[in-house]
């Protein structure tokens, strides 16, 4: 009796997973005023949150239109302060150095790093639309010879090994597996290079992810990692933390102001505030050296 035929053909591996495609689709379609209206103030588009004390006088203006403008400007100031905080942790850099912005969004972080340090910057995003937008902004600033954006996977960038003096993720690690991400950062960084991450993470001393964290995951189509996972994955990939800062208290004022910005609210503001205040969610910055 002849044995049954077994088809051993291997199915082709897609260049991106279904999940990555869904993330790309989300950001290709995204036109959220809380991102676009803030960025139009000075053409620095930040896809992250803010830190620092709020100027609450912005709520006092009797003119509704002027009040909206002042709230928008204040939120943008706080988001820019966060970008500057991260850029300040990238280490001593010069115009001869190259830095990597993983999950660059519409490109504000790379511009901040370039303006601060004079370095070259390469940003990557899964969104073709974001990469095109960011490159156009760089051309308008006449810095496109130094600041470039690419539609690529941050887990498999194609950039040369050891090409970068510093790299970072600003609120983008929740879209990927940390071991794969940190392996790529470790490959890209030269020895002694600096990696910085600012992220929301759930506090696993409280156990599993809270209801609020689950709601945030659903809102942004992401998977927030536990705090401990960052340090374990860094240790496995030759990234040694040199500075850890809990920014939770520093970001709460931003969210308190944003929830009162009726022209910008997304519906997730109270969830963030509840998660921060009940201790189940933290806003963390980690700077690590590649050894």
Indicate whether 9 pLDDT > 70.
no
Confirm whether 169 is domain-assigned.
yes
State the total domains in the chain: 1
Confirm whether 188 is domain-assigned.
yes
How far is residue 134 from each of residues 20, 25, 128, 129, 130, measured CA to CA in Å?
20, 17, 10, 9, 6
Q: Are 89 and 170 in contact (CB under 8 A)?
A: no
Confirm whether 255 is domain-assigned.
no
Beta bridge partners of 189: 164
| pTM confidence score | 0.91
- CA neighbor of 155 nearest in space, from 182, 128, 131: 182
Tell me the pLDDT tens digit for each residue of 228-260.
999 999 999 999 999 999 999 999 999 999 999
Confirm whether 215 is domain-assigned.
no
Predicted local distance difference test score (pLDDT) of residue 15: 60
Please name the residues in contact with 58: beta carbons below 8 A apart, sequence gap of 6 or more.
67, 70, 71, 73, 74, 257
- CA neighbor of 233 nearest in space, from 197, 280, 273, 270: 197
Indicate whether 71 pLDDT > 90.
yes
Q: Which CATH number belongs to the domain containing residue 128 in this structure?
A: 3.40.50.150
33/9: higher pLDDT? 33
Confirm whether 161 is domain-assigned.
yes
Predicted local distance difference test score (pLDDT) of residue 47: 85
Predicted local distance difference test score (pLDDT) of residue 84: 98
Tell me the pLDDT tens digit for each residue of 186-219.
999 999 999 999 999 999 999 999 999 999 999 9
Tell me the pLDDT tens digit for each residue of 211-226.
999 999 999 999 999 9
Print the domain residue range for 117. 18-198+226-247+286-290
d(CA 82, CA 251): 9
Confirm whether 217 is domain-assigned.
no
Confirm whether 280 is domain-assigned.
no
At 23, the pLDDT band (50, 70, 90 cuts) reads confident
Percent share of the chain, pLDDT over 90: 82
Cα of 105 vs its chain's centroid, Å? 8
d(CA 282, CA 172): 15
Confirm whether 216 is domain-assigned.
no
């Amino acid at each position: 009796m002849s044995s049954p035929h077994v088809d051993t053909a291997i199915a082709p591996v897609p260049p991106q997973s279904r999940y990555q495609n869904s993330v790309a689709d989300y950001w290709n379609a995204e036109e959220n005023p809380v991102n676009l209206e803030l960025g139009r103030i000075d053409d620095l588009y930040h896809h992250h949150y803010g830190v620092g004390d709020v100027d609450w006088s912005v709520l006092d203006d009797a003119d509704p239109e002027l009040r909206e403008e002042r709230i928008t400007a204040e939120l943008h100031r706080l988001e820019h302060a966060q970008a500057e905080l991260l850029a300040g942790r990238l280490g001593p850099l010069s115009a001869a150095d190259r830095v990597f912005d993983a999950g660059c969004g519409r490109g504000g972080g790379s511009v901040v790093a370039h303006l601060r340090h004079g370095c070259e910057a390469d940003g990557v995003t899964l969104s073709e639309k974001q990469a095109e937008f960011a490159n156009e902004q760089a051309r308008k600033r006449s810095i496109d010879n130094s600041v470039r954006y690419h539609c690529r996977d941050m887990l498999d960038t194609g950039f040369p090994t050891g090409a970068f003096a510093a790299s970072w993720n600003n609120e983008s690690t929740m879209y990927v597996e940390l071991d794969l991400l940190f392996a790529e950062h470790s490959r890209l960084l030269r020895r002694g290079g600096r990696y910085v991450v600012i992220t929301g993470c759930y506090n696993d001393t409280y156990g599993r992810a809270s209801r609020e964290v689950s709601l945030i995951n659903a809102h942004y189509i992401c998977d927030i990692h536990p705090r401990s996972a960052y340090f374990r994955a860094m240790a496995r990939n030759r990234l040694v933390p040199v500075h850890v800062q809990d920014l939770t208290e520093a970001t709460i004022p931003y969210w308190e102001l944003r929830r009162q910005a009726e022209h910008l609210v997304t519906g997730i503001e109270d969830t963030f505030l509840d998660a921060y205040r009940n201790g189940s969610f933290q806003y963390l910055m980690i700077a690590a050296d590649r050894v």
